[in-house]
Chain A
Amino acid sequence: MRAIDYALREGWASLWRSRGSSAFAILAIALAMIVMGTLLLVTWNVERLLAQWASAAEFSVYLRDDASSEQRGAIETAIDSSGVVEQREYVSKADAIGRFRREFAELASLTESFEDNPFPASLEIRIRPDAEQDGRAGALVQQVAGLPGVADVRYDREWIGRLAAGLSAIRGAGLLLAVVMALAAALTVASVVRLGMNARRQEIDIMQLVGSPIAFIRGPFIAEGVLQGGLGALTATAFLWLGLRLVSAWWGTELSALFDGGSIEFLPARLAAALVTGGMAVGGLGGFAASRHAI
């Protein structure tokens, strides 16, 4: 504990003494953390949106007009036993034309000219959100499409999967960029900490000669890096929060429509804490690299 207390005190004192050059290191970490934070902010909100869309996932099974009641029963059994269905509703041909007339009132007169009801009976199925994500919904769709009595299955959710895949690619590329920037920031921290180390060379020499534990010698440099990293990450978090407020102020209406009346949200506390911890880790890495030159 005394080593940690000493490291933090000396680390902070060194950071304050060289506050001009420390500001560069803090800025470098802030930039890396802004990239990382933006990535987190975007992916977290898009994932939230995807989950929202996925929770509303439905598919329709259109039945052939000549489908027997046994065939319909077999289809319903296959659906019910799949374990992925939250709700199932049978829509008869009469219900279907009635719904068309209600929803498209201006076209309702057209249906009176039909000799037969062209609308097929269908089964409308709401699926569980987890089944959408783990692919079980897709498997059920394929299974049902092949059953006798099924005319067609409409399941237009592939685009959610494609969006999720695209999001993964963006996340991967962003992560790579953030890692490169974090390494550059760690190098900047290491350089700044080493400058301070040169100014304290005599103290370090004396510490070595009196037999100071290695943790006491290296600790202040690691602590200085951690402090720079923490300050950089806090700066980045503040910038992200302000940026989000500006985005909400400028494009709030459009975003609200996209989120079905909701809004884009700031990172939850655990992710914001992870961002700050990440910044401290990057700074600590730079400080550790520098401290290896102390002894």
Chain B
Amino acid sequence: MIDVKGLKKSFGNHDVLKGIDEHIYKGEKVVVIGPSGSGKSTFLRCLNLLEEPTEGTITFEGNDITAPKADIDAIRRKMGMVFQQFNLFPHLSVKENIKLAPVKLGIMTNSEADAKAMELLKRVGLPDKADAFPKQLSGGQQQRIAIARALAMNPDVMLFDEPTSALDPEMVGEVLQLMKQLADEGMTMVVVTHEMGFAREVATRVLFMDDGVIAEQNEPKEFFANPKNQRLKEFLSKVL
């Protein structure tokens, strides 16, 4: 579904990604872990071109999205993204947050989007917050709305950039629960996170990034039980 070849990204003289080749298959739940500054967020953000790769190609559903002629807006409609800081639109109500993109892009009529928004709000367990504004909600609730907003575009893959890192500990659970539910429904997911429990439980594959490369990857059981890379061993001993 997503094919990454020779992906490199540098900011000025600082090389963040030093050559990544990876393939993400339909239905996979790939969890990316690694120390701060290892490039895992940059890798994720390159997948929907929020960061422009310095080198390499990314192919999504058969289209080279790094080609100069690629219609990146059309491609992004099929890739939902959830941010660490939620990034809800503070001037719009919860329902309007969800409806904005489908309506303004002419994909749904206002009433269709309305129905879709209510359905999604039920799915994320917040149907009574439709008319609230983002600031009136807790962090966990905001992140669940952000997930609903991304789902409104019916994406084929969901990208999560440390979705629980900005949350109070007691709110992490509700967001992970929702993500798990999403995974069970068969959504293809790429998740950058520090939640090892989530990786163990939900991932079909775990990637360990260190210093701009994927240093090790495996299915979760083997990954946590028998790490081979020295840096991964150190990393796991610190976080587990």
B and A form one assembly: no
